[in-house]
Amino acid sequence: MAAAFTVRAVRGAGIAAMDVAATTLLQHGVAPRAPGRGFGNFSGMFDTAAGVSCVGDGLLLDTPSPPVVFLASGAGGPAAAAATALLLRLPS
């Protein structure tokens, strides 16, 4: 049980660091006329992915093996990043 809490703490620290780094980089990539739209889309997708991942982790732990849990959990971040990239390319 202690290992599970440790892994979750490390994951949370990684998410926090990734959020800070991504918003810093986003400042330089968004058009000066639309920073609110860029940050709103990014934050919405990022926070949604984090919440879905936390709920999904709990559901996954009840059924399959640990490798399946780690693979499914790890897919949430890249999926959210891809969805954000697609949303940012939509015409306004």
- The per-residue pLDDT for range 26-54, each reduced to its tens digit, is 887 888 888 888 888 888 877 887 788 77
Which residue bears the tokens 């780690």? 70
pLDDT band at 92 (very low <50, low <70, confident <90, very high): low
Report pTM. Answer: 0.45
Q: Which two structure tokens, joined as six digits, stand for 43?
A: 């934050």
Q: What is the rounded CA–CA span in Å between residue 15 and residue 11?
A: 6
Q: Of all helices (H) and strands (E), which one includes residue 29?
A: helix 2-29
- Return the ∠ at Cα 55 (arms to 78 and 4), rounded to 5°: 90
| 37 or 80, higher pLDDT | 37
